[in-house]
Chain A
Amino acid sequence: MADISTVDLIQIIFWFLAGCISFYFSIGNARVWTSISMGFFLIFLSQLYVVEKALDAPWTAYTQLEAIHYIIGTISIMVMTHGFQEYYIFSRTLELGGSKQAVYLTILGLLAASAGFVFINPEPQYTMLRNIRMIENTTWVFLSLVNLDMVRKIYLQIRDSVIARGFIAFGVVFVAIFLWKGSELYLQVYNWDTDWKLIMLNLGATVPDQFMGRRDFSVLVHDVAGLLSGFSVGGTFIYLVRLLR
Protein backbone atom coordinates (compact mmCIF):
# COMPACT_ATOMS: atom_id res chain seq x y z
CA MET A 1 0.00 0.00 0.00
CA ALA A 2 1.33 3.39 -0.98
CA ASP A 3 1.79 6.16 1.54
CA ILE A 4 -0.80 8.88 1.99
CA SER A 5 0.11 12.03 3.81
CA THR A 6 -2.00 13.31 6.71
CA VAL A 7 -2.68 16.48 4.73
CA ASP A 8 -3.89 14.45 1.74
CA LEU A 9 -6.05 12.30 4.01
CA ILE A 10 -7.68 15.25 5.77
CA GLN A 11 -8.08 16.99 2.42
CA ILE A 12 -9.82 14.04 0.82
CA ILE A 13 -12.15 13.70 3.83
CA PHE A 14 -13.08 17.35 3.46
CA TRP A 15 -13.60 16.98 -0.28
CA PHE A 16 -15.71 13.89 0.32
CA LEU A 17 -17.92 15.83 2.72
CA ALA A 18 -18.00 18.85 0.39
CA GLY A 19 -18.86 16.56 -2.58
CA CYS A 20 -21.72 14.88 -0.69
CA ILE A 21 -23.15 18.18 0.58
CA SER A 22 -22.93 19.91 -2.82
CA PHE A 23 -24.49 16.92 -4.60
CA TYR A 24 -27.31 16.79 -2.03
CA PHE A 25 -27.76 20.55 -2.45
CA SER A 26 -28.07 20.23 -6.24
CA ILE A 27 -31.01 17.82 -5.92
CA GLY A 28 -33.56 20.10 -4.28
CA ASN A 29 -32.58 23.41 -5.79
CA ALA A 30 -32.85 25.50 -8.92
CA ARG A 31 -31.11 24.43 -12.12
CA VAL A 32 -28.37 27.05 -11.81
CA TRP A 33 -27.28 25.57 -8.50
CA THR A 34 -26.97 22.16 -10.20
CA SER A 35 -24.06 23.38 -12.35
CA ILE A 36 -22.32 25.02 -9.40
CA SER A 37 -22.75 22.13 -6.98
CA MET A 38 -21.94 19.48 -9.62
CA GLY A 39 -18.72 21.38 -10.34
CA PHE A 40 -17.70 21.11 -6.71
CA PHE A 41 -18.77 17.48 -6.59
CA LEU A 42 -16.49 16.75 -9.56
CA ILE A 43 -13.54 18.15 -7.58
CA PHE A 44 -14.13 15.37 -5.10
CA LEU A 45 -14.09 12.79 -7.94
CA SER A 46 -10.92 14.35 -9.24
CA GLN A 47 -9.30 14.27 -5.81
CA LEU A 48 -10.44 10.71 -5.25
CA TYR A 49 -7.46 9.54 -7.28
CA VAL A 50 -5.18 10.50 -4.39
CA VAL A 51 -6.97 7.95 -2.20
CA GLU A 52 -7.06 5.33 -4.94
CA LYS A 53 -3.31 5.67 -5.33
CA ALA A 54 -2.81 5.58 -1.59
CA LEU A 55 -4.88 2.42 -1.39
CA ASP A 56 -2.88 1.04 -4.33
CA ALA A 57 -6.08 0.27 -6.21
CA PRO A 58 -5.39 -2.08 -9.16
CA TRP A 59 -6.72 0.34 -11.78
CA THR A 60 -4.17 2.98 -10.76
CA ALA A 61 -1.65 1.08 -12.87
CA TYR A 62 -3.43 2.51 -15.90
CA THR A 63 -2.11 5.99 -16.53
CA GLN A 64 -5.19 6.70 -18.64
CA LEU A 65 -7.24 6.76 -15.44
CA GLU A 66 -4.88 9.28 -13.88
CA ALA A 67 -5.27 11.43 -16.98
CA ILE A 68 -9.04 11.13 -16.76
CA HIS A 69 -8.98 12.28 -13.12
CA TYR A 70 -7.05 15.40 -14.09
CA ILE A 71 -9.47 16.03 -16.93
CA ILE A 72 -12.39 15.65 -14.50
CA GLY A 73 -10.70 18.33 -12.38
CA THR A 74 -10.58 20.62 -15.42
CA ILE A 75 -14.21 19.90 -16.28
CA SER A 76 -15.25 20.59 -12.70
CA ILE A 77 -14.05 24.22 -12.70
CA MET A 78 -15.53 24.74 -16.18
CA VAL A 79 -18.92 23.43 -15.06
CA MET A 80 -19.03 25.55 -11.92
CA THR A 81 -17.88 28.62 -13.87
CA HIS A 82 -20.78 28.01 -16.23
CA GLY A 83 -23.06 27.85 -13.18
CA PHE A 84 -21.78 31.17 -11.85
CA GLN A 85 -22.15 32.70 -15.31
CA GLU A 86 -25.76 31.56 -15.36
CA TYR A 87 -26.33 33.00 -11.91
CA TYR A 88 -24.77 36.28 -12.98
CA ILE A 89 -27.07 36.40 -16.03
CA PHE A 90 -30.02 35.69 -13.74
CA SER A 91 -28.98 38.49 -11.38
CA ARG A 92 -28.93 40.92 -14.34
CA THR A 93 -31.88 39.71 -16.41
CA LEU A 94 -33.86 37.51 -14.00
CA GLU A 95 -34.05 34.95 -16.82
CA LEU A 96 -33.83 31.25 -15.97
CA GLY A 97 -33.62 28.52 -18.55
CA GLY A 98 -32.52 24.94 -19.18
CA SER A 99 -33.06 21.82 -17.09
CA LYS A 100 -31.20 19.79 -14.51
CA GLN A 101 -31.25 16.76 -16.78
CA ALA A 102 -29.44 18.76 -19.45
CA VAL A 103 -26.70 19.63 -16.93
CA TYR A 104 -26.27 16.02 -15.79
CA LEU A 105 -26.28 14.71 -19.36
CA THR A 106 -23.83 17.34 -20.58
CA ILE A 107 -21.40 16.51 -17.77
CA LEU A 108 -21.72 12.80 -18.51
CA GLY A 109 -21.17 13.52 -22.20
CA LEU A 110 -18.04 15.57 -21.45
CA LEU A 111 -16.65 12.83 -19.20
CA ALA A 112 -17.37 10.19 -21.84
CA ALA A 113 -15.79 12.29 -24.59
CA SER A 114 -12.71 12.95 -22.44
CA ALA A 115 -12.35 9.24 -21.63
CA GLY A 116 -12.75 8.45 -25.33
CA PHE A 117 -10.08 11.00 -26.20
CA VAL A 118 -7.65 9.51 -23.66
CA PHE A 119 -8.26 5.91 -24.73
CA ILE A 120 -8.00 6.45 -28.48
CA ASN A 121 -4.63 8.17 -28.02
CA PRO A 122 -1.32 6.58 -26.91
CA GLU A 123 -1.01 5.66 -23.24
CA PRO A 124 0.05 8.82 -21.38
CA GLN A 125 3.58 8.86 -20.03
CA TYR A 126 4.50 10.68 -16.81
CA THR A 127 5.59 13.78 -18.70
CA MET A 128 2.25 13.85 -20.52
CA LEU A 129 0.36 13.34 -17.25
CA ARG A 130 2.28 16.24 -15.80
CA ASN A 131 1.33 18.33 -18.83
CA ILE A 132 -2.35 17.45 -18.38
CA ARG A 133 -2.09 18.31 -14.68
CA MET A 134 -0.51 21.66 -15.57
CA ILE A 135 -3.35 22.37 -17.96
CA GLU A 136 -5.78 21.53 -15.16
CA ASN A 137 -4.00 23.85 -12.73
CA THR A 138 -3.78 26.65 -15.30
CA THR A 139 -7.49 26.36 -16.00
CA TRP A 140 -8.23 26.39 -12.27
CA VAL A 141 -6.08 29.45 -11.64
CA PHE A 142 -7.51 31.40 -14.56
CA LEU A 143 -11.14 30.46 -13.92
CA SER A 144 -10.78 31.03 -10.15
CA LEU A 145 -9.93 34.65 -10.92
CA VAL A 146 -12.82 34.87 -13.38
CA ASN A 147 -15.17 33.38 -10.78
CA LEU A 148 -13.91 35.73 -8.07
CA ASP A 149 -14.86 38.67 -10.28
CA MET A 150 -18.21 37.07 -11.13
CA VAL A 151 -18.99 36.36 -7.47
CA ARG A 152 -18.17 40.00 -6.65
CA LYS A 153 -20.54 41.24 -9.36
CA ILE A 154 -23.30 38.86 -8.29
CA TYR A 155 -22.89 39.96 -4.68
CA LEU A 156 -23.20 43.63 -5.63
CA GLN A 157 -26.37 42.82 -7.54
CA ILE A 158 -28.10 40.80 -4.80
CA ARG A 159 -26.41 42.21 -1.71
CA ASP A 160 -29.65 42.83 0.20
CA SER A 161 -31.03 39.33 -0.33
CA VAL A 162 -30.80 36.32 1.98
CA ILE A 163 -28.40 34.44 -0.31
CA ALA A 164 -25.88 37.31 -0.63
CA ARG A 165 -23.65 36.11 2.22
CA GLY A 166 -23.38 32.74 0.51
CA PHE A 167 -21.55 34.50 -2.29
CA ILE A 168 -19.07 36.02 0.15
CA ALA A 169 -18.39 32.43 1.22
CA PHE A 170 -17.85 31.47 -2.45
CA GLY A 171 -15.37 34.33 -2.66
CA VAL A 172 -13.40 32.77 0.22
CA VAL A 173 -13.60 29.38 -1.56
CA PHE A 174 -12.11 30.78 -4.78
CA VAL A 175 -9.34 32.62 -2.97
CA ALA A 176 -8.41 29.31 -1.29
CA ILE A 177 -8.64 27.41 -4.59
CA PHE A 178 -6.57 30.07 -6.38
CA LEU A 179 -3.81 29.67 -3.75
CA TRP A 180 -4.10 25.88 -3.77
CA LYS A 181 -3.90 25.44 -7.54
CA GLY A 182 -1.76 28.52 -8.10
CA SER A 183 0.98 27.35 -5.74
CA GLU A 184 1.07 23.95 -7.46
CA LEU A 185 1.20 25.61 -10.87
CA TYR A 186 4.03 27.83 -9.65
CA LEU A 187 6.04 24.75 -8.62
CA GLN A 188 5.29 23.06 -11.95
CA VAL A 189 6.22 26.09 -14.04
CA TYR A 190 9.64 26.24 -12.34
CA ASN A 191 10.06 22.43 -12.36
CA TRP A 192 10.07 22.30 -8.57
CA ASP A 193 7.20 19.86 -8.26
CA THR A 194 7.47 16.23 -7.13
CA ASP A 195 6.48 14.82 -10.54
CA TRP A 196 9.34 16.62 -12.23
CA LYS A 197 11.75 15.40 -9.57
CA LEU A 198 10.63 11.79 -10.22
CA ILE A 199 10.88 12.24 -13.97
CA MET A 200 14.41 13.58 -13.56
CA LEU A 201 15.31 10.71 -11.25
CA ASN A 202 14.06 8.21 -13.84
CA LEU A 203 16.24 9.93 -16.39
CA GLY A 204 19.23 9.71 -14.01
CA ALA A 205 19.28 13.42 -13.30
CA THR A 206 18.51 15.47 -10.21
CA VAL A 207 16.78 18.77 -9.62
CA PRO A 208 19.15 21.24 -7.97
CA ASP A 209 18.19 22.25 -4.43
CA GLN A 210 17.87 25.94 -5.19
CA PHE A 211 15.30 28.43 -3.85
CA MET A 212 14.24 25.93 -1.20
CA GLY A 213 12.64 28.65 0.92
CA ARG A 214 10.07 29.67 -1.65
CA ARG A 215 9.65 26.05 -2.81
CA ASP A 216 8.85 24.92 0.74
CA PHE A 217 6.63 27.91 1.26
CA SER A 218 4.72 27.08 -1.96
CA VAL A 219 4.26 23.51 -0.80
CA LEU A 220 2.99 24.79 2.54
CA VAL A 221 0.58 27.19 0.82
CA HIS A 222 -0.56 24.34 -1.45
CA ASP A 223 -1.27 22.04 1.50
CA VAL A 224 -2.94 24.64 3.71
CA ALA A 225 -4.96 26.19 0.85
CA GLY A 226 -5.95 22.69 -0.28
CA LEU A 227 -7.30 21.92 3.19
CA LEU A 228 -8.96 25.30 3.39
CA SER A 229 -10.55 24.77 -0.06
CA GLY A 230 -12.20 21.52 0.94
CA PHE A 231 -13.20 22.94 4.31
CA SER A 232 -14.60 26.18 2.85
CA VAL A 233 -16.51 24.37 0.10
CA GLY A 234 -18.12 22.02 2.64
CA GLY A 235 -18.82 24.94 4.98
CA THR A 236 -20.24 27.08 2.19
CA PHE A 237 -22.70 24.43 1.09
CA ILE A 238 -23.76 23.69 4.68
CA TYR A 239 -24.34 27.43 5.05
CA LEU A 240 -26.30 27.55 1.78
CA VAL A 241 -28.42 24.57 2.83
CA ARG A 242 -29.29 26.42 6.03
CA LEU A 243 -30.01 29.62 4.13
CA LEU A 244 -32.16 28.08 1.44
CA ARG A 245 -34.10 25.37 3.25
Chain B
Amino acid sequence: MFLLPKGNPLYENIAATKVKLPELLDKLKGSSFTGYLKFTFPSALAVLFFEAGKLISAMLEQEGKKSSGFEAIAGLCNLIFGGGGSLSVYKLSKDLTMCLHAMIHGDVLYQGQELKLIDIKGLLERLKAQRLNGCLRIYTDDRAALIFYKEGAPLGFFHDGSTDIETSASESQKIAGLPGAKIDVLSTKSADELMHYDLLEMVNIGKLWESTAGRFATERDQIRREAEAVDRKQSDEQLKELEDDLKEVAVAYLGRMGASLVDKELGDRGGRAILRDASQVAEFLAGMERGSKMLTSISKTKEMLETMKNEIAERTKG
Protein backbone atom coordinates (compact mmCIF):
# COMPACT_ATOMS: atom_id res chain seq x y z
CA MET B 1 0.00 0.00 0.00
CA PHE B 2 1.06 3.59 -0.36
CA LEU B 3 2.23 6.04 2.24
CA LEU B 4 0.71 9.51 2.42
CA PRO B 5 2.08 12.65 4.06
CA LYS B 6 0.45 13.17 7.43
CA GLY B 7 0.30 16.95 7.41
CA ASN B 8 -1.49 18.10 10.53
CA PRO B 9 -3.03 15.04 12.29
CA LEU B 10 -6.43 15.84 13.84
CA TYR B 11 -7.15 12.30 15.05
CA GLU B 12 -5.02 9.20 14.84
CA ASN B 13 -5.89 5.56 15.25
CA ILE B 14 -9.45 5.95 16.53
CA ALA B 15 -11.36 2.66 16.56
CA ALA B 16 -13.36 2.70 13.33
CA THR B 17 -16.34 0.95 14.99
CA LYS B 18 -16.83 4.05 17.17
CA VAL B 19 -17.18 6.23 14.09
CA LYS B 20 -20.62 7.20 12.83
CA LEU B 21 -19.62 8.01 9.28
CA PRO B 22 -22.53 10.30 8.29
CA GLU B 23 -22.07 12.39 11.43
CA LEU B 24 -18.31 12.61 10.93
CA LEU B 25 -18.65 13.61 7.30
CA ASP B 26 -21.27 16.22 8.20
CA LYS B 27 -18.93 17.62 10.82
CA LEU B 28 -16.06 17.85 8.35
CA LYS B 29 -18.33 19.43 5.80
CA GLY B 30 -19.49 21.97 8.37
CA SER B 31 -15.92 22.89 9.28
CA SER B 32 -14.84 23.23 5.60
CA PHE B 33 -12.19 20.62 6.23
CA THR B 34 -9.35 20.13 3.73
CA GLY B 35 -7.26 16.98 4.01
CA TYR B 36 -7.98 13.32 4.09
CA LEU B 37 -9.41 10.51 6.21
CA LYS B 38 -7.53 7.26 6.28
CA PHE B 39 -9.34 4.12 7.39
CA THR B 40 -7.01 1.19 7.97
CA PHE B 41 -8.44 -2.34 8.21
CA PRO B 42 -6.59 -5.65 8.45
CA SER B 43 -7.13 -6.33 4.76
CA ALA B 44 -8.22 -2.98 3.39
CA LEU B 45 -7.42 0.70 3.25
CA ALA B 46 -9.79 3.57 2.46
CA VAL B 47 -8.89 7.19 1.81
CA LEU B 48 -11.43 10.00 1.60
CA PHE B 49 -10.23 13.38 0.33
CA PHE B 50 -11.89 16.61 1.44
CA GLU B 51 -11.38 19.97 0.00
CA ALA B 52 -13.03 22.92 1.72
CA GLY B 53 -15.67 20.63 3.23
CA LYS B 54 -16.37 18.82 -0.03
CA LEU B 55 -15.75 15.13 -0.37
CA ILE B 56 -13.88 15.19 -3.66
CA SER B 57 -13.00 11.52 -3.79
CA ALA B 58 -13.14 8.22 -1.99
CA MET B 59 -10.87 5.27 -2.66
CA LEU B 60 -10.99 1.79 -1.22
CA GLU B 61 -8.36 -0.84 -1.76
CA GLN B 62 -9.43 -4.22 -0.50
CA GLU B 63 -7.49 -7.42 -1.08
CA GLY B 64 -5.73 -5.90 -4.08
CA LYS B 65 -8.93 -4.60 -5.65
CA LYS B 66 -9.48 -0.86 -5.94
CA SER B 67 -12.82 0.89 -5.99
CA SER B 68 -13.89 4.52 -5.81
CA GLY B 69 -16.90 6.79 -5.36
CA PHE B 70 -20.15 5.22 -4.22
CA GLU B 71 -18.70 1.74 -4.34
CA ALA B 72 -15.80 2.77 -2.09
CA ILE B 73 -18.10 4.46 0.42
CA ALA B 74 -20.46 1.47 0.50
CA GLY B 75 -17.47 -0.83 0.99
CA LEU B 76 -16.17 1.43 3.74
CA CYS B 77 -19.53 1.28 5.57
CA ASN B 78 -19.36 -2.52 5.44
CA LEU B 79 -15.81 -2.55 6.76
CA ILE B 80 -16.66 -0.18 9.63
CA PHE B 81 -19.58 -2.40 10.72
CA GLY B 82 -17.37 -5.44 10.25
CA GLY B 83 -15.06 -4.02 12.93
CA GLY B 84 -11.35 -4.17 13.53
CA GLY B 85 -10.29 -0.96 11.75
CA SER B 86 -8.89 2.41 12.76
CA LEU B 87 -9.33 5.96 11.53
CA SER B 88 -6.87 8.82 11.23
CA VAL B 89 -7.74 12.33 10.03
CA TYR B 90 -5.07 14.60 8.58
CA LYS B 91 -5.44 18.23 7.67
CA LEU B 92 -3.49 19.32 4.57
CA SER B 93 -3.18 22.37 2.37
CA LYS B 94 -5.56 22.66 -0.56
CA ASP B 95 -2.72 22.19 -3.07
CA LEU B 96 -1.27 19.14 -1.40
CA THR B 97 -4.66 17.57 -1.18
CA MET B 98 -5.00 18.10 -4.89
CA CYS B 99 -1.65 16.45 -5.49
CA LEU B 100 -2.50 13.48 -3.31
CA HIS B 101 -5.74 13.20 -5.18
CA ALA B 102 -3.70 13.09 -8.38
CA MET B 103 -1.54 10.37 -6.99
CA ILE B 104 -4.51 8.18 -6.22
CA HIS B 105 -7.09 9.13 -8.78
CA GLY B 106 -5.12 11.03 -11.38
CA ASP B 107 -4.78 10.33 -15.09
CA VAL B 108 -1.68 8.34 -15.85
CA LEU B 109 0.52 10.18 -18.39
CA TYR B 110 3.47 7.83 -18.05
CA GLN B 111 3.66 4.58 -16.24
CA GLY B 112 6.69 2.43 -15.42
CA GLN B 113 9.07 4.42 -17.60
CA GLU B 114 12.71 3.62 -16.88
CA LEU B 115 14.39 6.83 -15.88
CA LYS B 116 17.59 6.13 -17.74
CA LEU B 117 15.63 5.80 -20.95
CA ILE B 118 13.90 9.15 -20.75
CA ASP B 119 15.06 12.70 -20.86
CA ILE B 120 14.16 13.79 -17.35
CA LYS B 121 15.07 17.42 -17.91
CA GLY B 122 12.93 17.59 -20.99
CA LEU B 123 10.08 15.90 -19.13
CA LEU B 124 10.21 18.43 -16.30
CA GLU B 125 10.26 21.30 -18.74
CA ARG B 126 7.24 19.81 -20.49
CA LEU B 127 5.41 19.55 -17.24
CA LYS B 128 6.24 23.13 -16.48
CA ALA B 129 5.12 24.22 -19.90
CA GLN B 130 1.87 22.24 -19.58
CA ARG B 131 1.31 23.72 -16.11
CA LEU B 132 0.78 20.22 -14.73
CA ASN B 133 -1.20 19.62 -11.59
CA GLY B 134 -0.24 16.24 -10.22
CA CYS B 135 2.69 14.19 -9.14
CA LEU B 136 5.73 12.28 -10.25
CA ARG B 137 6.34 8.95 -8.64
CA ILE B 138 9.94 7.79 -8.80
CA TYR B 139 10.54 4.28 -7.54
CA THR B 140 12.62 1.14 -7.50
CA ASP B 141 11.54 -2.28 -6.23
CA ASP B 142 12.02 -1.26 -2.63
CA ARG B 143 12.03 2.54 -2.48
CA ALA B 144 9.74 5.31 -3.69
CA ALA B 145 9.57 9.10 -3.74
CA LEU B 146 6.87 11.57 -4.80
CA ILE B 147 7.26 15.01 -6.26
CA PHE B 148 4.12 17.13 -6.19
CA TYR B 149 3.46 19.76 -8.81
CA LYS B 150 1.06 22.63 -9.02
CA GLU B 151 0.71 24.32 -12.34
CA GLY B 152 4.07 22.91 -13.40
CA ALA B 153 5.98 24.10 -10.30
CA PRO B 154 7.15 21.64 -7.62
CA LEU B 155 5.29 21.93 -4.30
CA GLY B 156 7.36 19.50 -2.28
CA PHE B 157 8.85 16.06 -1.95
CA PHE B 158 7.71 12.99 -0.12
CA HIS B 159 9.42 9.63 0.28
CA ASP B 160 9.34 6.39 2.23
CA GLY B 161 10.21 6.88 5.88
CA SER B 162 9.17 10.54 6.04
CA THR B 163 5.94 11.67 7.61
CA ASP B 164 5.53 14.98 5.89
CA ILE B 165 6.35 17.00 2.81
CA GLU B 166 9.98 18.01 2.49
CA THR B 167 11.52 20.83 0.56
CA SER B 168 14.75 19.01 -0.21
CA ALA B 169 14.98 17.00 -3.45
CA SER B 170 18.01 15.00 -2.30
CA GLU B 171 16.15 11.77 -1.44
CA SER B 172 14.20 11.88 -4.69
CA GLN B 173 17.42 12.40 -6.60
CA LYS B 174 19.03 9.46 -4.79
CA ILE B 175 16.22 7.13 -5.77
CA ALA B 176 16.25 8.46 -9.33
CA GLY B 177 19.94 7.58 -9.50
CA LEU B 178 19.43 3.97 -8.44
CA PRO B 179 19.67 1.31 -11.14
CA GLY B 180 16.30 0.23 -12.50
CA ALA B 181 14.54 3.36 -11.18
CA LYS B 182 11.22 4.04 -12.90
CA ILE B 183 8.83 6.95 -13.09
CA ASP B 184 5.05 7.40 -13.21
CA VAL B 185 3.51 10.73 -14.09
CA LEU B 186 -0.01 11.39 -12.87
CA SER B 187 -2.07 14.48 -13.52
CA THR B 188 -5.30 15.84 -12.12
CA LYS B 189 -7.56 18.78 -12.42
CA SER B 190 -6.82 21.96 -10.52
CA ALA B 191 -8.01 22.27 -6.94
CA ASP B 192 -10.74 24.65 -8.02
CA GLU B 193 -12.00 22.24 -10.63
CA LEU B 194 -11.91 19.35 -8.18
CA MET B 195 -14.19 21.31 -5.93
CA HIS B 196 -16.95 20.93 -8.46
CA TYR B 197 -17.22 17.35 -7.28
CA ASP B 198 -18.82 16.59 -3.95
CA LEU B 199 -19.63 12.99 -3.17
CA LEU B 200 -21.60 14.19 -0.14
CA GLU B 201 -24.06 15.71 -2.59
CA MET B 202 -24.06 12.76 -4.94
CA VAL B 203 -24.30 9.89 -2.46
CA ASN B 204 -26.91 9.63 0.29
CA ILE B 205 -24.41 8.52 2.86
CA GLY B 206 -26.97 8.62 5.69
CA LYS B 207 -29.22 6.14 3.93
CA LEU B 208 -26.30 3.99 2.86
CA TRP B 209 -25.10 3.91 6.47
CA GLU B 210 -28.57 3.01 7.80
CA SER B 211 -29.10 0.24 5.29
CA THR B 212 -25.67 -1.19 6.07
CA ALA B 213 -26.43 -0.92 9.80
CA GLY B 214 -29.75 -2.71 9.24
CA ARG B 215 -28.14 -5.44 7.19
CA PHE B 216 -25.43 -6.00 9.77
CA ALA B 217 -28.00 -6.01 12.57
CA THR B 218 -29.96 -8.67 10.69
CA GLU B 219 -26.78 -10.65 10.07
CA ARG B 220 -25.77 -10.28 13.72
CA ASP B 221 -29.24 -11.44 14.80
CA GLN B 222 -28.98 -14.38 12.46
CA ILE B 223 -25.51 -15.24 13.78
CA ARG B 224 -26.73 -14.80 17.37
CA ARG B 225 -29.75 -17.03 16.70
CA GLU B 226 -27.55 -19.63 15.08
CA ALA B 227 -25.08 -19.42 17.97
CA GLU B 228 -27.93 -19.77 20.44
CA ALA B 229 -29.26 -22.78 18.55
CA VAL B 230 -25.79 -24.34 18.57
CA ASP B 231 -25.45 -23.53 22.30
CA ARG B 232 -28.86 -25.05 22.98
CA LYS B 233 -27.93 -28.15 21.04
CA GLN B 234 -24.60 -28.45 22.80
CA SER B 235 -26.24 -27.82 26.15
CA ASP B 236 -28.88 -30.42 25.42
CA GLU B 237 -26.23 -32.91 24.38
CA GLN B 238 -24.33 -32.23 27.60
CA LEU B 239 -27.50 -32.73 29.64
CA LYS B 240 -28.26 -35.92 27.73
CA GLU B 241 -24.77 -37.20 28.60
CA LEU B 242 -25.32 -36.20 32.22
CA GLU B 243 -28.69 -37.98 32.28
CA ASP B 244 -27.08 -41.11 30.83
CA ASP B 245 -24.36 -40.97 33.46
CA LEU B 246 -26.93 -40.54 36.24
CA LYS B 247 -28.74 -43.59 34.90
CA GLU B 248 -25.49 -45.56 34.94
CA VAL B 249 -24.95 -44.57 38.57
CA ALA B 250 -28.54 -45.53 39.43
CA VAL B 251 -28.23 -48.88 37.66
CA ALA B 252 -25.00 -49.61 39.54
CA TYR B 253 -26.76 -49.05 42.88
CA LEU B 254 -30.37 -50.08 42.20
CA GLY B 255 -30.28 -52.41 39.24
CA ARG B 256 -32.12 -51.74 36.00
CA MET B 257 -34.99 -50.09 37.87
CA GLY B 258 -32.52 -47.32 38.70
CA ALA B 259 -32.57 -46.09 35.10
CA SER B 260 -36.39 -46.10 35.08
CA LEU B 261 -36.39 -44.22 38.38
CA VAL B 262 -34.11 -41.50 36.95
CA ASP B 263 -36.39 -41.28 33.89
CA LYS B 264 -39.48 -40.94 36.04
CA GLU B 265 -38.08 -38.42 38.51
CA LEU B 266 -36.76 -36.23 35.67
CA GLY B 267 -39.94 -36.67 33.62
CA ASP B 268 -42.15 -35.65 36.56
CA ARG B 269 -40.27 -32.36 36.82
CA GLY B 270 -40.07 -31.42 33.14
CA GLY B 271 -37.11 -33.40 31.79
CA ARG B 272 -33.35 -33.23 31.95
CA ALA B 273 -33.31 -29.41 31.65
CA ILE B 274 -34.13 -29.21 35.38
CA LEU B 275 -30.62 -30.47 36.10
CA ARG B 276 -29.48 -26.85 35.68
CA ASP B 277 -31.85 -25.64 38.44
CA ALA B 278 -30.53 -26.17 41.98
CA SER B 279 -33.96 -26.33 43.65
CA GLN B 280 -35.31 -28.76 41.05
CA VAL B 281 -32.18 -30.88 41.43
CA ALA B 282 -32.83 -31.05 45.18
CA GLU B 283 -36.39 -32.25 44.48
CA PHE B 284 -35.11 -34.75 41.92
CA LEU B 285 -32.64 -36.16 44.44
CA ALA B 286 -35.36 -36.33 47.12
CA GLY B 287 -37.52 -38.32 44.68
CA MET B 288 -34.58 -40.60 43.91
CA GLU B 289 -34.07 -41.13 47.64
CA ARG B 290 -37.72 -42.11 48.18
CA GLY B 291 -37.62 -44.64 45.36
CA SER B 292 -34.16 -45.96 46.24
CA LYS B 293 -35.19 -46.75 49.81
CA MET B 294 -37.53 -49.33 48.32
CA LEU B 295 -34.71 -51.05 46.48
CA THR B 296 -31.50 -50.77 48.45
CA SER B 297 -29.94 -49.92 51.80
CA ILE B 298 -29.89 -46.45 53.31
CA SER B 299 -26.08 -46.36 53.20
CA LYS B 300 -26.01 -47.25 49.52
CA THR B 301 -28.79 -44.75 48.82
CA LYS B 302 -26.74 -42.01 50.50
CA GLU B 303 -23.65 -43.01 48.57
CA MET B 304 -25.57 -42.99 45.28
CA LEU B 305 -27.16 -39.59 45.99
CA GLU B 306 -23.79 -38.10 46.89
CA THR B 307 -22.30 -39.40 43.63
CA MET B 308 -25.23 -37.99 41.65
CA LYS B 309 -25.07 -34.65 43.44
CA ASN B 310 -21.35 -34.27 42.71
CA GLU B 311 -21.84 -35.36 39.11
CA ILE B 312 -24.61 -32.80 38.56
CA ALA B 313 -22.68 -30.00 40.29
CA GLU B 314 -19.52 -30.77 38.32
CA ARG B 315 -21.24 -31.00 34.94
CA THR B 316 -23.56 -28.01 35.24
CA LYS B 317 -21.22 -25.43 36.78
CA GLY B 318 -20.49 -22.29 34.83
- Is B254's CB under 8 angstroms from A96's CB? no
In the complex, the number of residue pairs spanning A and B with C-beta atoms less than 8 Å apart equals: 49
The verdict on A30 contacting B293 (CB below 8 Å), with A94-B264, A160-B255, A161-B257 known, is: yes
Cα A32 to Cα B290 in complex, Å, equals 11
- Is B295's CB under 8 angstroms from A161's CB? yes
What's the minimum C-beta distance from B250 to chain A, rounded to whole angstroms? 11
The verdict on A163 contacting B295 (CB below 8 Å), with A30-B290, A94-B264, A96-B290 known, is: yes
Contacts of B291 in A (CB 8 A): 90, 94, 96
Contacts of A161 in B (CB 8 A): 254-255, 257-258, 295-296
- Cβ-closest chain B residue relative to A86: B294
Q: Chain A interface: which of B65-73, B150-158, B273-281, B297-305?
A: B297-305
Q: Does B234 contact A (CB under 8 A)?
A: no
Contacts of B298 in A (CB 8 A): 244-245
- Is A245's CB under 8 angstroms from B296's CB? no
List A residues 186-236 near B (Cβ within 8 Å). none
Cα A171 to Cα B300 in complex, Å, equals 25
Count of interface residues, chain A, beta-carbon cutoff 8 Å: 19
Partner of B257, one of A32, A87, A91: A91
Q: Does B260 contact A (CB under 8 A)?
A: yes
The verdict on A90 contacting B294 (CB below 8 Å), with A158-B255, A161-B254, A161-B255 known, is: yes
- Is B296's CB under 8 angstroms from A244's CB? yes
The interface bits of chain B over 231-258 (1 if a CB of A lies within 8 angstroms of the residue's CB, else 0) are: 0000000000000000000000011111
Partner of A163, one of B256, B258, B296, B299: B296
Q: Does B194 contact A (CB under 8 A)?
A: no
The interface bits of chain B over 156-191 (1 if a CB of A lies within 8 angstroms of the residue's CB, else 0) are: 000000000000000000000000000000000000
Cα A162 to Cα B258 in complex, Å, equals 11
Cα A161 to Cα B294 in complex, Å, equals 10
Name B's interface SS.
helix
Partner of A94, one of B260, B293, B299: B260
Partner of A243, one of B256, B257, B290, B297: B297
Which range holds the interface residue count of chain B?
10 to 19
Q: Does B208 contact A (CB under 8 A)?
A: no
- Is B295's CB under 8 angstroms from A158's CB? yes
Q: Does B261 contact A (CB under 8 A)?
A: yes
What's the minimum C-beta distance from A94 to chain B, rounded to whole angstroms? 5
Partner of A96, one of B255, B258, B260, B294: B294
List A residues 144-187 near B (Cβ within 8 Å). 157-164
- Cβ-closest chain B residue relative to A163: B295
- Which of B255, B264, B298 lies at the interface centre, i.e. has the most chain A CB atoms within 10 A of its CB? B255
Cα A243 to Cα B298 in complex, Å, equals 9
Contacts of B294 in A (CB 8 A): 30, 32, 87, 90, 96, 163
Partner of A244, one of B254, B257, B258, B297: B297
What's the minimum C-beta distance from B300 to chain A, rounded to whole angstroms? 7
The verdict on A162 contacting B296 (CB below 8 Å), with A94-B257, A94-B261 known, is: yes
Contacts of B260 in A (CB 8 A): 94
What's the minimum C-beta distance from A22 to chain B, rounded to whole angstroms? 17
Contacts of B295 in A (CB 8 A): 158, 161-163
Contacts of A32 in B (CB 8 A): 294
The interface bits of chain B over 197-222 (1 if a CB of A lies within 8 angstroms of the residue's CB, else 0) are: 00000000000000000000000000
Q: Does A29 contact B (CB under 8 A)?
A: yes
- Is B257's CB under 8 angstroms from A245's CB? no
Contacts of B297 in A (CB 8 A): 162, 243-245
A-B contact sample (18 more), CB < 8 A, given A90-B291, A94-B260, A245-B297: A30-B290, A30-B294, A87-B294, A90-B294, A94-B264, A94-B291, A96-B291, A96-B294, A159-B255, A160-B256, A161-B254, A161-B255, A162-B296, A162-B297, A162-B300, A163-B294, A164-B255, A244-B293
Q: List 14 A-B contacts (CB under 8 A).
A: A29-B293, A30-B293, A90-B294, A91-B257, A96-B294, A160-B255, A160-B256, A162-B254, A162-B255, A162-B296, A162-B297, A164-B255, A243-B296, A245-B298
